[in-house]
């Protein structure tokens, strides 16, 4: 090995001097802040007793519904420094009282951090996260989380348990509603946007919230879509699919990470050293703090991983868990575990540092209370406007046989169990949203005749059916707003059948028999199985749970003042039996073949076993979803030119430019989501049949031609194999550009 000489040292000194001279002032300031914070953390840590250190690791919950005075015992615990953070304290006077005790009477004046699940809005509710993912518009997602941060921080909430970054390939899972969908690239773009929005450009500002990337890791891989269930993952899936959005979140500076309830390959996430330390700290370089999910630390007993709470605390402490949510095993056992040599004391210091660092970064030491001039206003006009735009951009037009937009003067009959349910259209995780401030379709369409028909999505009372049918007969068009109540998706609300609940299909089928044009508008937390009656509908519009401004947005879309411009962030299954389904699957040795496929109805009686195509498909559901990933219609017409590439060879260190020209050939302005997919033909492990690599959402005025450019480098095609090796080998990559994952405008390039 080469020796380090004094000449080298001199050269190094000169090099560092030049680097220092070249460092931009903003980076210098950042570095100074970082050093400053680390010095303050060290100073504080040196003064803290072991009990006070353990106190910082405690996140204590209050139920949102808890009323009445704060118990003196709780205040006393804060006074002694036994609690570091709270969730769900929603009485602002309680927050102030607790914070006052912490900073004025607590041992070192360490402020508390107040947390809440502010997932897709605080008061002004935006579409559910799966809906926001359907917007394919990171800017809009950033605005939504900015609005949420402004409103929530105005009452003192400086930590939100969002964004949820769990990819999901199974719509049975109730939490698909909170997920960014099934694609790691789209999810990563959204992860950055959420974090920029929540955390802002300067986390010290009192209008920001620390974000929490959750749930680490692979919670969305729950077997069969059953919540909390086991995740079994190869290295390849873990690194290529489930990890990328978290990697992006860490790169974007996410403050905190939450562990997931599930086990990953046999080890519950909360006690999983591989994912909490080896991956999150060592590989991703995360320097914020990790919080467990609600009681997930002590649930390691039910998992059959820890024999009791003490052992659970030991496993979590050794694995890399900084803060414990609600359960109290760290409080009860951590000091004993350290005394017994089962957990190193340095580990406790490491956790306290991570938590204090985050509190300093949030500026809580300088400004522990909400300032009097905080600009956050609930339901501010620009918040409502942004929420309405978000609904329009999230809504996916799945079918339109020339029905929409409606001509002015059309006599509309509005019906269905989601047409006037303010609370329900907000969707899951909207503790602070208010049904009576929500604008429903009925509110927004006062001129439409309205009979609700069913008063909630599972309602089985046919009492209003006759009235519905009579009113429908007198109308030009029927708009049926159906779907799922908010409670039917979200945590622990998995469903095995994906059809419309209750007797909505009965009412729909009676309406269909009237032979009037009919639009089905869905408000739901997941794709719904509409396969049996899709052909009878003239239009199908998926609004997800749209939030506060669902009604006005629907009005604008119905009348063409706005164009639904969402695209599916998940494959839409034909039926639950097809799940899990995802577009970026592998080919298999026997990929489905349209020429050989014989559906169940067409199998000749007495057919010989091997006489029919032996490929990967279902006899009764085929091999494609009802609507593919990336799909969505618009009101306009856009033509794609061929995909052009600046070179057909890509080498390390260079980039290629891909170009496609779009022309709006229709008469109205229209929005298109242009999607670029790749297929690596052969790999050292098999590669997915398609992978999203880039997208752009563009609006084209009538007659406009626009050339879109995408730059790709070798890094875009690198992947992890089963040995954890990252890279790409020489070979051919097929590139496709189009309006969903099935389009085949392709070119190939060679990697050398």
What residues are annotated to the active site?
A: 293
Closest CA to 465 of 514, 538, 520: 514
State the DSSP code for 743. Answer: -
**479-518: contacts with ligand NOJ (CB under 6 A):** 491
**Which runs of E-coded beta strand occur in 616-730?**
638-640, 644-645, 649-650, 655-664, 670-680, 691-700, 705-713, 719-720, 726-727
Closest CA to 330 of 89, 51, 110, 107: 51
3-state secondary structure 336-373: HHHHCCCCCHHHHHHHHHHHHHHHHHCCCCCCCCCCCC
Using omega within 30 degrees of 0 as the cis cutoff, is the peptide bond preceding 423 cis? no
Q: Does 623 contact ligand NOJ by CB under 6 A?
A: no
| 130/658 with CB nearer ligand NOJ | 130
The DSSP secondary structure of 12-46, one letter per residue, reads HHHHHHHHHHHS-HHHHHHHHHHHHHHHHHHHHHH
Q: How far is the CB of 243 from ligand NOJ (least distance, A)?
A: 19
Strand partners, 688: none
| 120/353 with CB nearer ligand NOJ | 120
| 117/484 with CB nearer ligand NOJ | 117
SS3 390: helix
Q: What is the per-residue binding string for ligand NOJ in 250-289, x denoting contact by CB under 6 A?
A: ----------------------------------------
Q: How far is the CB of 353 from ligand NOJ (least distance, A)?
A: 24
| 174/738 with CB nearer ligand NOJ | 174
Contacts of 621 (CB under 8 A, 6+ apart): 574, 575, 577, 578
Rounded distance, CA 141 to CA 160, Å?
A: 15
| 321/576 with CB nearer ligand NOJ | 321
Q: Give φ, ψ of 664 to 5 degrees.
A: -85, 105
What is the residue whose two structure tokens read 């931009």? 24
Q: How far is the CB of 295 from ligand NOJ (least distance, A)?
A: 9
| 123/214 with CB nearer ligand NOJ | 214
∠ CA 390-395-400, nearest 5°, is: 150
Burial zone of 204 (CB within 10 Å; 0-12 exposed, 13-18 middle, 19+ buried): middle
| 491/704 with CB nearer ligand NOJ | 491
Contacts of 673 (CB under 8 A, 6+ apart): 136, 565, 567, 630, 632, 695, 696, 697, 739
Is 77:106 a contact under the CB 8 Å cutoff? no
| 220/636 with CB nearer ligand NOJ | 220
Write out the H or E segment, with its range, that includes residue 732.
strand 731-738
Q: How far is the CB of 161 from ligand NOJ (least distance, A)?
A: 3
| 117/183 with CB nearer ligand NOJ | 117
Q: How far is the CB of 214 from ligand NOJ (least distance, A)?
A: 6
State the DSSP code for 164. Answer: B
Among 166, 170, 293, 424, indicate the residue that binds ligand NOJ (CB under 6 A).
Answer: 293
**Tokens at residue 507, please?**
């009412």
Rounded distance, CA 748 to CA 752, Å?
A: 13
SS3 423: coil
Q: How far is the CB of 338 from ligand NOJ (least distance, A)?
A: 28
Q: How far is the CB of 117 from ligand NOJ (least distance, A)?
A: 5
Measured in whole angstroms, the distance separating CA 560 from the mean position of its chain's CA atoms is 29
Alpha-carbon distances of 713 from 64, 693, 717, rounded to whole Å: 49, 11, 8
Rounded distance, CA 322 to CA 307, Å?
A: 21
Q: What is the per-residue binding string for ligand NOJ in 200-219, x denoting contact by CB under 6 A?
A: --------------x-----
What is the residue whose two structure tokens read 């210091």? 349
- Residue with nearest beta carbon to ligand NOJ: 161
**Tokens at residue 8, please?**
């080298």
Give how many residues touch ligand NOJ by CB under 6 A. 6
Q: What is the per-residue binding string for ligand NOJ in 442-481, x denoting contact by CB under 6 A?
A: ----------------------------------------
SS3 310: helix
Q: How far is the CB of 158 from ligand NOJ (least distance, A)?
A: 15
Q: Among positive and negative, which fits the CA dihedral 262, 265, 270, 274?
A: negative
**110-169: contacts with ligand NOJ (CB under 6 A):** 117, 161
| 82/262 with CB nearer ligand NOJ | 262
Q: How far is the CB of 296 from ligand NOJ (least distance, A)?
A: 8
Q: How far is the CB of 658 from ligand NOJ (least distance, A)?
A: 38
Contacts of 578 (CB under 8 A, 6+ apart): 618, 621, 625
Q: How far is the CB of 325 from ligand NOJ (least distance, A)?
A: 7
| 300/733 with CB nearer ligand NOJ | 300
What is the residue whose two structure tokens read 């919080």? 291
Q: Give the chain's end-to-end CA distance (angstroms, integer).
A: 32
Among 294, 365, 623, 640, indicate the residue that binds ligand NOJ (CB under 6 A).
Answer: 294
**335-354: contacts with ligand NOJ (CB under 6 A):** none
| 111/163 with CB nearer ligand NOJ | 163
Q: How far is the CB of 653 from ligand NOJ (least distance, A)?
A: 42
Which spans of this chain sit near ligand NOJ (rule: CB under 6 A)? 117, 161, 214, 293-294, 491
């Amino acid at each position: 090995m080469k020796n380090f000489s004094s000449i080298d040292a001199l050269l190094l000194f000169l090099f560092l001097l030049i680097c220092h001279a070249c460092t931009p002032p903003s980076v210098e300031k950042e570095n100074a802040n970082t050093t400053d914070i680390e010095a303050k953390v060290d100073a504080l840590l040196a003064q803290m007793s072991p009990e006070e250190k353990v106190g910082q690791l405690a996140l204590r919950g209050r139920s949102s519904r808890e009323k009445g005075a704060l118990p003196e015992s709780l205040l006393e615990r804060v006074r002694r420094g036994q609690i570091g953070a709270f969730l769900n304290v929603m009485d602002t006077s309680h927050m102030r009282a607790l914070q006052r005790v912490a900073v004025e009477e607590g041992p070192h004046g360490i402020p508390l951090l107040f947390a809440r699940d502010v997932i897709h809005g605080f008061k002004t509710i935006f579409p559910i996260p799966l809906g926001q993912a359907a917007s394919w518009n990171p800017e809009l997602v950033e605005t939504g989380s900015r609005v949420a941060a402004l409103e929530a921080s105005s009452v003192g909430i400086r930590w939100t348990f969002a964004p949820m970054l769990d990819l999901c390939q199974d719509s049975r899972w109730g939490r698909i509603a909170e997920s960014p969908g099934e694609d790691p690239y789209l999810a990563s773009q959204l992860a950055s946007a959420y974090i920029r929005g929540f955390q802002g450009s300067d986390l010290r500002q009192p209008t920001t919230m620390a974000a929490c990337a959750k749930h680490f890791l692979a919670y969305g891989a729950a077997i069969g879509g059953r919540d909390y269930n086991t995740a079994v993952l190869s290295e390849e899936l873990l690194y290529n699919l489930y990890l990328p959005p978290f990697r992006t979140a860490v790169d974007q500076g996410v403050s905190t990470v939450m562990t997931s309830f599930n086990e990953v390959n046999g080890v519950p996430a909360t006690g999983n050293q591989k994912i909490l330390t080896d991956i999150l700290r060592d590989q991703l370089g995360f320097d914020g703090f990790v919080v467990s999910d609600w009681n997930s630390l002590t649930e390691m007993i039910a998992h059959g991983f820890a024999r009791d709470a003490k052992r659970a605390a030991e496993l979590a402490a050794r694995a890399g868990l900084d803060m414990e949510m609600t359960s109290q095993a760290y409080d009860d056992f951590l000091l004993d575990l350290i005394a017994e040599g089962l957990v190193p004391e340095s580990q406790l210091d490491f956790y306290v540092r991570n938590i204090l660092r985050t509190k300093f970064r949030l500026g809580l030491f300088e400004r522990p209370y909400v300032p009097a001039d905080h600009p956050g206003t609930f339901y501010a006009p620009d918040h409502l406007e942004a929420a309405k735009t978000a609904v329009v951009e999230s809504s996916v037009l799945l079918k339109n046989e020339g029905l929409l937009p409606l001509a002015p003067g059309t006599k509309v009959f509005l019906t269905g169990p989601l047409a006037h349910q303010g609370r329900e259209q907000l969707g899951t995780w909207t503790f602070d949203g208010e049904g009576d401030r929500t604008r429903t379709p009925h509110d927004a369409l006062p001129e439409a005749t309205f009979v609700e028909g069913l008063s909630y999505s599972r309602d089985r009372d046919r009492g209003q059916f006759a009235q519905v049918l009579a009113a429908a007969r007198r109308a030009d068009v029927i708009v049926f707003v159906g779907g799922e109540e908010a409670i039917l998706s979200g945590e622990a609300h998995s469903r095995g059948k994906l059809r419309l609940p209750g007797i909505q299909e009965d009412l729909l089928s009676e309406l269909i028999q009237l032979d009037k044009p009919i639009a089905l508008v869905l408000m739901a937390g997941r794709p719904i199985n509409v396969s049996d009656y899709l052909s009878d509908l003239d239009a199908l519009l998926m609004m997800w749970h749209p939030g506060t401004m669902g009604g006005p947005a629907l009005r604008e879309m119905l009348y063409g003042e706005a164009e639904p411009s969402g695209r599916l962030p998940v494959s839409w299954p034909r039926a639950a039996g097809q799940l899990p389904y995802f577009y970026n699957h592998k080919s298999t040795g026997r990929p489905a073949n349209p020429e050989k496929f014989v559906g169940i109805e067409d199998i000749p009686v007495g057919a010989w076993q091997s006489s029919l195509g032996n490929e990967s498909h279902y006899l009764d559901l085929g091999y494609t979803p009802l609507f593919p990933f990336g799909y969505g219609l618009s009101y306009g017409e856009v033509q794609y030119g061929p995909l052009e590439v600046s070179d057909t060879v890509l080498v390390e260190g260079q980039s290629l430019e891909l170009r496609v020209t779009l022309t709006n050939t229709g008469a109205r302005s229209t929005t298109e989501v242009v999607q670029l997919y790749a297929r690596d033909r052969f790999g050292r492990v098999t590669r997915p049949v398609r992978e999203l690599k880039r997208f752009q959402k563009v609006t084209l005025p009538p007659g406009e031609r626009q050339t879109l450019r995408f730059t790709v480098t070798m890094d875009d095609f690198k992947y992890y194999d089963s040995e954890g090796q990252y890279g790409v080998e020489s070979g051919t990559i097929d590139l496709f550009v189009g309006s969903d994952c099935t389009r085949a405008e392709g070119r190939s390039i060679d990697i050398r």
